[in-house]
A and B are shown apart, each in its own frame.
Chain A
Amino acid sequence: MTIDWNAFTPWSALGGGVLIGLAAAVFLLVNGRIAGISGVLGGLLQPRSGDIGWRLAFLIGLLVTPLLFMLVGQPQTVPIASGYGALILAGLLVGLGTRLGSGCTSGHGVCGISRLSPRSLVATALFMLAGFATTLVVRHLLGM
């Protein structure tokens, strides 16, 4: 392993991370909810009355973020190298996996570890390991 010092952005990573934790704190202490994005989104697929508005509001907040950056003169463009086949396969796996495993990077990785949930510690270790292994196979064995 060699560290890519040119790509490494420690301060913006830490600062952005604190904002993510702050958002989870606001959602928890003001709305009483866990900021787990797959859970918030997944709950809309089986909508129950009185349980829709807060989910939509939170997700819309994420969705309009690039618009806000554009308004302050910092439009965001995201280069995505994956082809359509890879994006469809990845999307299906992420959708199925996060619902089956009850959480993703935010719900298990940030909120779950913050409250020292054993389930979330196991989930985070497993999706990280699977992510490391998959990247190894895709990049270095398949050479994609």
Chain B
Amino acid sequence: MSLFTALLAGVIFGIGLVISGMIFPAKVLGFLDLAGRWDPSLGLVMVGAIAAGSVAFAIARKRPRSALGFEIKLPANRQIDRRLIAGSLLFGVGWGIAGLCPGPALVDLGTGQFKPVVFFVALLLGMGLFEWLNRRWGG
């Protein structure tokens, strides 16, 4: 049952990405290109998502368990540290180069085109590089 609801959440997320146009790098870059002809759409995607998400997180704050009885796991780390800052900046640079972030990259991979495969393999390598660095740093 929980696997089915996880799959369902993924599908709803994917449909949202398709409908909002966020699977298209050109649309994402249209938002990031403040100096050119600006497409504010991505901002409204965030507004819609955060509006719906806020309700859910307000409900989650009052209950320790999910509808299927799982512990609701909220991140405990409160530290604004160098890792958070450096990581977010690196991600933003990569995002600005191709207009792809992990969610849309997965949906694009599902279209069966070749370029998303190239991006996705590089993304996995980048994540692997983090695991390697993380072990070296002993964290």
- Do B94 and A97 have beta carbons less than 8 Å apart? yes
* CA of A122 to CA of B84, assembled, Å: 8
- Do A65 and B50 have beta carbons less than 8 Å apart? no
Of the candidates B3, B17, B75, B127, which one forms a contact with A96 in the assembled complex, judged by CB atoms under 8 Å apart? Answer: B127
Q: Nearest-CB distance from A5 to chain B (Å)?
A: 9
- Do A30 and B5 have beta carbons less than 8 Å apart? yes
The residue of chain B having its C-beta at the shortest distance from the C-beta of A61 within the complex is B10
Q: Which of B16, B30, B100, B121 has the most CB of A within 10 A?
A: B16
Q: Nearest-CB distance from A101 to chain B (Å)?
A: 2
* CA of A130 to CA of B5, assembled, Å: 35
Q: Which residues of B32-69 are within 8 A (CB) of A?
A: 32-57, 59-61, 65-68
- Do A29 and B59 have beta carbons less than 8 Å apart? yes
Residues of A within 8 A of B35 (CB): 1, 135-136, 139-140
Known contacts A20-B49, A30-B67, A65-B18, A4 near B37 by CB under 8 Å = yes
* CA of A58 to CA of B9, assembled, Å: 6
For chain A, the bracket of interface size reads: 35 or more
* CA of A54 to CA of B60, assembled, Å: 19
Of the candidates B37, B67, B92, which one forms a contact with A2 in the assembled complex, judged by CB atoms under 8 Å apart? Answer: B37
Question: Can you list, as one digit per residue, whether each of A1-44 has a CB less than 8 Å from chain B (1) or not (0)?
Answer: 11110011110111111111111111111111111011001100
Residues of A within 8 A of B126 (CB): 91-97, 99
- Do B17 and A15 have beta carbons less than 8 Å apart? no
* CA of A100 to CA of B6, assembled, Å: 25
* CA of A95 to CA of B129, assembled, Å: 8
Known: A92-B125, A97-B86. 5 other contacts (CB 8 A): A8-B41, A21-B50, A54-B2, A63-B109, A106-B102
Give the B-binding residues of A (Cβ under 8 A). Answer: 1-4, 7-10, 12-35, 37-38, 41-42, 45-46, 53-55, 57-69, 76-82, 84, 86-102, 104-106, 108-111, 113-115, 117-119, 122-124, 126-136, 138-140
Give the A-binding residues of B (Cβ under 8 A). Answer: 2-27, 29-30, 32-57, 59-61, 65-68, 70-75, 77-80, 83-103, 105-113, 115-116, 118-131, 133-134
Question: 16 pairs across A/B with beta carbons < 8 Å?
Answer: A4-B39, A13-B44, A17-B49, A20-B13, A42-B127, A58-B7, A61-B11, A62-B110, A78-B113, A82-B99, A98-B101, A101-B84, A115-B61, A115-B74, A127-B95, A138-B97
